[in-house]
Amino acid sequence: MPLAAHGRYVEGVSTAVIKTEGLTKRFARVTALDQLTVEVQPGVVGLVGANGAGKSTLIKILLGLAPATSGRGEVLGLDIATRGSEIREWVGYMPEHDCLPPDVSATEFVVHMARMAGLPATAARERTADTLRHVGLYEERYRPMGGYSTGMKQRVKLAQALVHDPKLVLLDEPTNGLDPAGRDEMLGLIRRVHSDFGISVLVTTHLLGELERTCDHLVVIDGGKLLRSSSTASFTEATAVLAVEVTDHPEDLIAEPGAEVRDRLAAAGLDVQPEGSHLLLVRLADEDTYDTIRDTVAELGLGLVRLEQRRHRVAELFTAHDDASTRGGTDDDAAS
Ligand SMILES: Nc1ncnc2c1ncn2[C@@H]1O[C@H](COP(=O)(O)OP(=O)(O)OP(=O)(O)O)[C@@H](O)[C@H]1O
């Protein structure tokens, strides 16, 4: 038993499920990972980065499927350079791209993956049925996968990552290609992988917003470098900006509605940035911020076109935090 042999992890002395130190991967023309030092604790952790940031490369190196150029790393306490096959026994992997053979059914495929992971035939069949039910595939699991929707294919890919009862799963862009409802369902499933089974999850995405409700902790990488690693709560705080859009006054009594609202909100102590004649960005100070905005707009006799938490794109986040204090740094709470 690799984990028992490596009792440090089992006994919880070292709790990090993933740990890297100066991990670097150079290809001929590009440095995909650049001195990456990060620790991932048990739970649901998001790995966020724009396309090409190095997410898939990191996952492959963590699984022992590709060697690092320099630096080191551990997964579940096992050295990635020397213990790759043991790591893969304990870690499930959902690849980014469609890798499902079209002519076989989900059941046949997942049973096959379970057998490859070393499960005996009966256990493989039982685990396959349980896992496919868990991801929400029922009668259709006997049909060839070529006819599946993208959502169904993503579920099969998740099921094969879970079938051998891993301690940790690495999910590469599991919401790719899904519509908003499909994304929500997939994110709910991912959350339950941890809450129902206690399996830790590292999930990648290029969309920061979609992981805010799913992950306990977020690791952001850019150009293969660590940009930030901190709890989701502290991220949300840092990115909690409300977009406020107001109408003109119905009787044109206010010449510049946006400016008037801005002045009043600033006088009420809020941090406000104008974004146009009718649009403002207001930093969410606390729950009262919503009421203050609604009341202010109503008192001026204006209408509210929208009042919503702004969804940040990763690119914006990079701009917002791309300074000496955060580049390559780790927030205080990251190690907690
Ligand atoms: N086998 C390879 N040979 C050469 N360059 C590679 C190879 N694999 C990845 N790269 C390069 O390394 C960088 C990081 O790629 P990686 O696939 O890890 O990014 P990513 O964050 O997963 O993005 P995406 O979601 O688009 O796959 C990119 O510039 C990519 O072109």
- What are the b/e assignments for 132-161, b being 16+ CB within 10 Å? bebbbbeebbeeebeebeebbbbbbbbbbb
- Determine the average pLDDT of the residues in 159-187: 94
**What does 236-296 look like in DSSP terms, one character per residue?**
HHHH-EEEEEEPPPTT---S-HHHHHHHHHHHTT--EEE-SSSEEEEE--STHHHHHHHHH
Choice between 206 and 220, residue whose per-residue pLDDT is larger = 220
Q: Residue with structure tokens 């862009």? A: 173
Phi and psi, residue 166, nearest 5°: -75, 170
**108: enclosing H helix or E strand:** helix 106-116
Residues in the chain: 336
Q: What is the pLDDT of residue 83?
A: 94
How high is the pLDDT of residue 19? 96
Q: Average of pLDDT values for 81-110?
A: 94
φ and ψ of 171, to 5 deg: -110, 115
Confidence band of 7 (pLDDT split at 50, 70, 90): very low
Asked whether residue 334 carries a pLDDT value surpassing 50, the answer given is: no
pLDDT of residue 240: 76
> Which atom of ligand 1 is the closest one to the Cα of 58?
18
pLDDT in tens, 288-300: 999 999 999 999 9
115: number of Cβ within 10 Å:
17
Residues of the chain with CATH 3.30.70.100: 240-309
Give the CA dihedral 87, 93, 99, 104, nearest 10 degrees.
90
Phi, psi (degrees; rounded to nearest 5) at 32 = -80, -35
Residue-wise pLDDT for 180-200, tens only, equals 899 999 999 999 999 999 999
* pLDDT at 319 (0 to 100): 53
Domain with CATH 3.40.50.300 in the chain: 2-237
CB count in 10 Å sphere of residue 29: 5
Residue nearest to atom 3 of ligand 1 (CA): 27
Sign of CA dihedral 176, 182, 183, 189: negative
Query: What separation in Å is there between the alpha carbon of 229 and the centre of ligand 1?
Result: 21
Distances in Å between the Cα of 327 and the Cα atoms of 68, 69, 225, 228 are 22, 22, 8, 7
Strand ranges (E), 51-190: 70-75, 78-79, 91-94, 168-171
Kindly state the average pLDDT of the residues 103-124: 96
- What is the pLDDT, as a whole number, of residue 311? 59
Tell me which of 3.30.70.100, 3.40.50.150, 3.20.20.80, 3.40.630.10 is the CATH number of domain 240-309. 3.30.70.100
Residue nearest to atom 25 of ligand 1 (CA): 51
The answer, as to whether pTM is greater than 0.80, is: no
pLDDT score at 330: 41
Relative to the CA of 224, which ligand 1 atom is closest? 14
The pair of three-digit structure tokens given for residue 82, joined into one six-digit string: 């020397």
Pocket test for ligand 1, best of 57, 93, 99, 173 (most atoms within 8 A of CB): 57
CA distance 162 to 135: 10
| CATH tag for 2-237 (out of 3.30.43.10, 3.60.15.10, 2.60.40.1240, 3.40.50.300) | 3.40.50.300
Relative to the CA of 56, which ligand 1 atom is closest? 22
| Residue 326: Cβ within 10 Å count | 19
pLDDT in tens, 25-58: 999 999 999 999 999 999 999 999 888 899 999 9
C-alpha 222 – ligand 1 centre gap (Å): 12
Res. 275 pLDDT band, cuts 50 70 90: confident
DSSP per residue, 67-88 = --SEEEEEETTEETTT-HHHHH
pLDDT digits (tens, 9 = 90+) for 224-259: 999 889 888 777 666 678 889 999 999 999 999 999
